[in-house]
Amino acid sequence: MSVADLYERGFGVPAAVFATASGRVNLLGEHTDYNQGLVLPAAIALATEVAIGPSRDDSFHLLSQNMDGAHARVDYADGSSPPPGYGRYVYGCIEVLRLNGVDIAPCSVAIHSTVPMGAGLSSSAALEVAVLRALRKLHGLALDDVTIAKFAQRAEVEFAGVHCGIMDQMAVSVGQPGQLLFLDTRSLAYRLVPFPPGTEIAIFDCGVPRTLATSGYNERRRECEAAAAALGVAALRDVVDPESIASLPSPLRERARHVVSENQRVRIAAAGVDAATFGQLMNESHRSLRDDFEVSIDALDALVESVLSQPRVFGCKLTGAGFGGACVALLGAGAGAAVKEGALSAFARRGFRGSVLL
Residues carrying an active site annotation: 168
Closer CB to ligand GLA, 87 or 320, in the complex: 320
Helix (H) or strand (E) holding 62: strand 59-64
From 3, 7, 31, 154, residue interacting with ligand GLA (rule: CB under 6 A)? 31
Q: Tell the smallest beta-carbon distance from residue 320 to ligand GLA (Å).
A: 4
> 3-class DSSP state for residue 119?
coil
Closer CB to ligand GLA, 112 or 210, in the complex: 210
128 binds ligand GLA (CB under 6 A): no
β-bridge partners, 182:
191
Q: Tell the smallest beta-carbon distance from residue 156 to ligand GLA (Å).
A: 8
From 321, 335, 346, 357, residue interacting with ligand GLA (rule: CB under 6 A)? 321
From 3, 7, 33, 131, residue interacting with ligand GLA (rule: CB under 6 A)? 33
Closer CB to ligand GLA, 41 or 82, in the complex: 41
From 7, 11, 34, 89, residue interacting with ligand GLA (rule: CB under 6 A)? 34
Q: Tell the smallest beta-carbon distance from residue 79 to ligand GLA (Å).
A: 29
152 binds ligand GLA (CB under 6 A): no
Q: 235-243, long-range: CB within 8 Å, 24+ apart, which pairs?
A: 235/35, 235/36, 235/37, 235/186, 236/35, 236/36, 236/37, 236/260, 237/32, 237/35, 237/36, 237/37, 237/186, 237/263, 238/36
293 binds ligand GLA (CB under 6 A): no
Q: Across the chain, which distance is largest between two alpha carbons, in Å?
A: 65
320 binds ligand GLA (CB under 6 A): yes
Whole-angstrom Cα distance, residue 54 to residue 60? Answer: 9
The piece of 7-15, 24-32, 95-103, 309-317 that touches ligand GLA (CB under 6 A) is 24-32
Cβ–Cβ contacts within 10 Å for residue 138, how many?
18
Residue ranges of alpha helices (H) inside the chain are 3-11, 86-99, 123-139, 145-154, 167-174, 213-231, 252-270, 275-291, 298-308, 336-349
Whole-angstrom Cα distance, residue 266 to residue 86? Answer: 32
The piece of 30-38, 90-98, 100-108, 233-241 that touches ligand GLA (CB under 6 A) is 30-38
From 30, 128, 205, 292, residue interacting with ligand GLA (rule: CB under 6 A)? 30
Closer CB to ligand GLA, 10 or 325, in the complex: 325
On the CB side of 258, CA atoms within 13 Å amount to 29
Q: Tell me, what amino acid is at 114?
A: T
171 binds ligand GLA (CB under 6 A): no
167 binds ligand GLA (CB under 6 A): yes
Q: 143-146, long-range: CB within 8 Å, 24+ apart, which pairs?
A: 145/173, 145/174, 146/170, 146/173, 146/174, 146/188
Q: Tell the smallest beta-carbon distance from residue 191 to ligand GLA (Å).
A: 19
From 164, 227, 245, 282, residue interacting with ligand GLA (rule: CB under 6 A)? 164
Q: Is 184 exposed, middle or buried (0-12, 13-18, 19+ CB in 10 A)?
A: middle
Which residues in this chain contact ligand GLA in the complex, by CB under 6 A? 26, 30-31, 33-34, 164-165, 167-168, 320-321
